[in-house]
C-alpha cells in the first residue's frame, strides 16, 4: 500500500481522524496527506520534531499546528498527544516517518490514539 493509502484507509478511513499526513522523519517532505490536508508550516513541523527529541518544554509551551495552539497531554520520544477544546492532535514518529493526525470534536481521544498508534507500530514493523 502507498503512503496515501495509509492516510486514506488507516487514518481518515477509521472515521476517528478527519485530517492526516505522513511526512519524512526529518520533516523535509510530505509523503501523503488527506484532503483537506494539514497546512503545517515548516516552523511548526520542526518544533514538533524537536519536541520529540526533548519533551521538557512541550507541556508548558504546547505545540502549534495550522497556527492553532494545542495543549500537550502526553509526550514521549515517539509520540505526542494534544488537545484544544474537544479536538485532538496526534503525532507518532517511526524510524523514517512522522505521522500527524487530527480528530474532530465528538471523537474519543482514545479511539483516535489507537488508530494513529496502530499505523505507527505497523510502519515501524515493516521498516519505516
Structural domain boundaries enclosing 81: 3-125
Domain count, the chain: 1
- pLDDT class of 38 with cuts at 50, 70, 90: confident
- pLDDT class of 49 with cuts at 50, 70, 90: very high
pTM beyond 0.85: yes
User: What is the rounded average pLDDT for all residues in the chain?
Assistant: 94
pLDDT tens by residue, 60-111:
999 999 889 999 999 998 999 999 999 999 999 999 999 999 999 999 999 9
Q: Percent of the chain, pLDDT > 70?
A: 99
User: How high is the pLDDT of residue 56?
Assistant: 86
97, 95, 100: which is closest to 116 by C-alpha?
Answer: 100
**Can you give the CATH number for the domain in which 121 is found?**
3.30.450.30
Average pLDDT of the segment spanning 40-44: 91
Q: Is residue 8's pLDDT more than 90?
A: yes
DSSP states of the chain: --HHHIIIIIIGGGTS-SEEEEEETTSS-EEEE-SS-----HHHHHHHHHHHH-GGGHHHH-EEETTEEEEEEEE-SSEEEEEETTEEEEEEE-SSEEEEEEE-TTS-HHHHHHHHHHHHHHHHHTT-
Amino acid at each position: 500500500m502507498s503512503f496515501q493509502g495509509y492516510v486514506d484507509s488507516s487514518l481518515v478511513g477509521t472515521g476517528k481522524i478527519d485530517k492526516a499526513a505522513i511526512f519524512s522523519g526529518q520533516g523535509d517532505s510530505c509523503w501523503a496527506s488527506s484532503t483537506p490536508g494539514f497546512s503545517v508550516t515548516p516552523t511548526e513541523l520542526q518544533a514538533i520534531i524537536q519536541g520529540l527529541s526533548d519533551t521538557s518544554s512541550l507541556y508548558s509551551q504546547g505545540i502549534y499546528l495550522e497556527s492553532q495552539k494545542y495543549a500537550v497531554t502526553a509526550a514521549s520520544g515517539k509520540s505526542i498527544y494534544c488537545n484544544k477544546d474537544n479536538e485532538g492532535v496526534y503525532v507518532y514518529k517511526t524510524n523514517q516517518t512522522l505521522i500527524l493526525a487530527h480528530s474532530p470534536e465528538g471523537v474519543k481521544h482514545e479511539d483516535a490514539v489507537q488508530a494513529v498508534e496502530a499505523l505507527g507500530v505497523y510502519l515501524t514493523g515493516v521498516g519505516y
